[in-house]
């Protein structure tokens, strides 16, 4: 997997995650867990987990290998399953493109923590954005 070359964007900066791996059909996202990510119980909010899952799947389907020709996509649907409570210090999302065609793609993702516990999973359908590759 390659190291990403795209600049960060505002939501990424707000949450504080890093794209740590990116290649054809795959992506890895890491987020050090901080107090700002917690819900009322002090555990990572489901919205944070969903953002990591969505981002990992989107990146997995949009790799071009050329930083001068970025591909963007938008999420059409996403099904999320919350399975466990994170006990580690870092959340790690792995996304994988599972199929698709010229206009849409399908993907799946898993969030674990650094202890190896599976925290959440998702599947999604994404549409490539026209005119967004240069």
The answer on pLDDT for 131 being more than 70 is no
pTM, two decimals, is 0.94
Who's near 116: CB < 8 A, 6+ residues apart? Answer: none
pLDDT category at 68 given cuts 50, 70, 90 is confident
The answer on pLDDT for 130 being more than 90 is no
**pLDDT of 16-59, one tens digit each?**
999 999 999 999 999 999 999 999 999 999 999 999 999 999 99
The answer on pLDDT for 3 being more than 80 is no
**pLDDT of 71-129, one tens digit each?**
999 999 999 999 999 999 999 999 999 999 999 999 999 999 999 999 999 999 999 99
3-state helix, strand, coil in the chain (%, to 5): 20, 45, 40
**DSSP code at position 2:** B
Domain ranges of the chain: 10-128
- Which superfamily, per CATH, for 10-128? Hotdog Thioesterase (3.10.129.10)
CA distance 78 to 36: 24
CB atoms within 10 A of CB 99: 10
């Amino acid at each position: 997997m390659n190291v990403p070359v795209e600049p960060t964007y505002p939501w990424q900066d707000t949450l504080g995650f890093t794209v740590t791996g990116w290649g054809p059909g795959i992506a890895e996202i890491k987020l050090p867990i901080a107090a700002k990510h917690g819900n009322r119980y002090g555990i990572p909010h489901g919205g944070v987990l969903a953002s990591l899952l969505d981002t990992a799947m989107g990146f997995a389907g949009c790799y071009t290998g050329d930083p001068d020709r970025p591909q963007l996509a938008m999420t059409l649907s996403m099904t999320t399953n919350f399975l466990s409570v994170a006990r580690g210090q870092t959340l790690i999302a792995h996304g994988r493109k599972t199929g698709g065609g010229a206009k849409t793609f399908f993907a799946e993702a898993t969030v674990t923590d650094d202890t190896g516990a599976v925290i959440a999973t998702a599947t999604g359908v994404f549409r490539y954005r026209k005119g967004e590759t240069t």
